[in-house]
Structure 1
Amino acid sequence: MNKLKSYYNSEGKTYLVEVKLSSISQLFNSFDPSPFIEKDLDDEVENYIVQSVREFSINTPLKLIFYLPPEKQDEAKQILPEAIHHYFDYRKQNSEKELRTILRQGRTSLIIGLVFLFTCISTTEFTNWLASGPLTHIFQEGLVIIGWVAMWRPIEIFLYDWWSIKNNQKLYDKLSQITIEIKQNKEEKVSIKSQSKEILPL
C-alpha cells in the first residue's frame, strides 16, 4: 500500500484514478454506433481503469478523475458520469450471470460426478463377488481413480473458478457507483494520447 500511496495521488483517504483526454470520444469504442450513454468503453481505457482499481482493496475509497480541455468540460459533466456508471453496471450484471451459470454448471457437474463415483465404487464392490487376483485389484483401483477424476471439475468450480468471477462482480459494482469528477487538463496527469491512446502512469 505504501507503493500505491506514492504512485497515486489522493484527497485525504480517497485515492485518485486519473485519466487525461483530449476529447470525450477517446473514452469510447469508436466502432460502437450506440449513443454515448450506452457505448462500450475503449478497451485500453477500460483496462487501465479496471487494473488501477484492482490494485486497491475493495473497501478503499477511490475517485475517478477525467482531465479534459475547458471547452469539453460541460458536455463531459453531462455525459461521462452516467455513461461510465451505466457501462460498469452492465459489466456487473454480466458477471452476475456468469457466476450463476458457473455455479449451475458446478451443481450439475457435482451430481454427475457423485453418481459416477458411486457407480465406480459399487462396481469395484461387485467385482469382489465375481473374481479376485492382481488383475481384478488393478481394475478396481482404476475404477476408483476414474471416479475421483470425474469429481475434479465440480471441485475446480467450487474451490477456484467462482471466486474470481465474484471478485470481478464486486469490482464492477464499485466502478458502477464510483465518484467521477471532470477537471481541466493538466499535462503532468495520466495521459491518453490522441493517436496511440497510450496510457501513461503518474
Structure 2
Amino acid sequence: MNEKMLKSIYRYDKKEKTYHIDVHLDNYRDVYSEWDYSPFVNRDMDEDLLEYLMSCSYEIPMKKNLDINFFLLKTLHDTSREKRSIEGIHNYFGYRIRQVKTQRFRQMRNTLTFFVIGVILLIFAVFSTSLIKNPILEQLLSEGLYIGAWVAMWEMFSIWFFHINGLNYKIKHYLRLKSSNIYYQYVDK
C-alpha cells in the first residue's frame, strides 16, 4: 500500500513520523475477551481486536513506527486501570510471541524428523536393489521407497519455507505491537 493511501486510512504524526491505530472503546474491559475474567495483566485480548491490530500492523510497513490509541469517555478515566490494561496488553503480546516461538520450534523439529525419514528411505531404496532378487518386487519396492523419500523431503522443505517463514512473520508483528506505545485518550461524547 502506498504512503498516501496509508495516511488517508491511519492518523499520521509528521513530527514523530508515526502511524496511529485508533480504537474507540466503551469500557476498559472491551480490550479483553469477554470470556476471560482473570486480572487485567493476564487476560486474553479480544479476538476481533487482535485481528484488527494484526491487520493494521501488516498494512503499515515494518520500517514505520506505530502507536495504538484507545479512546474512552472522560467519565471512565481510571489511571490504575489504564496502567494495568497497558501492562496487560504488553503481557498478552509477550505470551503470543512465546506461543508462536514454541510452535516454530515444533515445526523445526518436524523438519529434522522428515529429513531423517527421507534419508533413511533413500538409503533403503539404494540398497534394496541388491537385497531383493525378484525384479518386479525389487522395482516396486525401490520406486516406493524413492517416492516416500522425496515426499518426506518435500514436506521438510514445505514446512521450512512456508510454515516457519509464516511464523517468523507473525513473531515480527507481535514484537512490533508489543513494543509499540499504547495510549488511552479520553474524550467527551
What TM-score, normalized to structure 1? Answer: 0.81
Q: 1:30 to 1:135 in 2, by over 3 A?
A: closer
Q: 2:183 aligns with which of 181, 184, 195?
A: 181
Structure 1 residues 135 and 92, CA gap change in structure 2 (3 angstroms): closer
Shift of 1:147: 2.4
* One-letter amino acid of the structure 1 residue matched with residue 146 of structure 2: V
1:96 matched residue in structure 2: 101
Q: CA deviation at 1:80?
A: 2.4
Residues 87 and 74 (structure 1), Cα distance of their counterparts in 2 relative to 1, 3 Å cut: same
Structure 1 position 149, deviation (Å): 1.8
Matched, 1:68 2:69: no
Distance 2:166 2:188 in 1: 36
Map of 1:82 onto structure 2: 87
Percent identity between the aligned chains?
Answer: 26
Partner of 2:126: 121
SS at match of 1:106: helix
- Distance 1:41-1:17 versus aligned 2 partners, 3 A rule: same
Distance in 2 (CA, whole Å) between partners of 1:155 and 1:118 is 19
2:30 maps to 26
- State how 1:105-184 maps to structure 2 within 5 Å: 105-123=110-128, 125-126=129-130, 130=133, 140-184=142-186
- Counterpart-to-counterpart distance in 2, 1:67 and 1:6: 19
Contact 1:17 1:64 in 2 (8 A): yes
| 2:60 is aligned with 1:56 | yes
Contact 1:95 1:165 (C-alpha < 8 Å) held by counterparts: yes
In structure 1, stretches of 5+ residues that fail to align are: 188-202
Residue 5 of structure 1 pairs with residue 7 of structure 2: yes
Instruction: Indicate the SS of the match to 1:150.
Output: helix
Q: TM-score, normalised by structure 2?
A: 0.86
Amino acid at match of 1:16: H
Distance 1:153 1:91, change over 3 A: same
- What is the CA–CA distance in structure 2 between the aligned matches of 1:146 and 1:83, rounded to whole Å? 48
Moved more, 3-12 or 145-154: 145-154
- State whether residues 67 and 186 of structure 1, in contact with CA within 8 Å, keep that contact through their aligned partners in structure 2: no
